[in-house]
Amino acid sequence: MARDTPVQNGTDSKSTDTQLPNLVTIVGRGVPSNYEVAVDGDLEMLATDPVAEGTVVSGGVAEGSIDVGVQRFRFSGEMANVRLVDWNGDQAPDSASVPTVHVEYGAPQR
């Protein structure tokens, strides 16, 4: 199947740095939670198989779930929105169980 646009796979770190210079990190707290991250540019998950991570990335939006571990995304532009919901449906900041989110602009490739 042919694609209309190329997919970045992170093999060329120099081009990724200049095209997707920012980093958002989601850290699970041991409780199943859902998240949605939206940016006003492009967004790419730093994982070999986002579907196995339970994450859907489309354009500048990523939706997924996390309970433990870390999920990272590189993006261009500015952070537009972050929505976090724990397994009970309680949103941040009403729940201490939702994941933490760290945003770093101009983050070097790791």
User: In sequence order, what are the residues at sequence separation of 6 or more whose Cβ sits closer than 8 angstroms to the Cβ of residue 7?
Assistant: none
pLDDT number for residue 51: 75
- pTM, full prediction: 0.78
Element (H, E) at 13: helix 13-19
The rounded distance, in Å, linking the Cα atoms of 9 and 6 is 9
44 pLDDT more than 90:
yes
Taking only the tens place, the pLDDT of each residue in 51-61 is 778 899 999 99
The rounded distance, in Å, linking the Cα atoms of 24 and 12 is 19
pLDDT number for residue 18: 62
The two three-digit tokens of residue 32, written as one number = 């199943």
pLDDT number for residue 1: 38
The rounded distance, in Å, linking the Cα atoms of 59 and 38 is 9
Taking only the tens place, the pLDDT of each residue in 8-30 is 444 444 444 469 999 999 999 99
pLDDT number for residue 42: 96
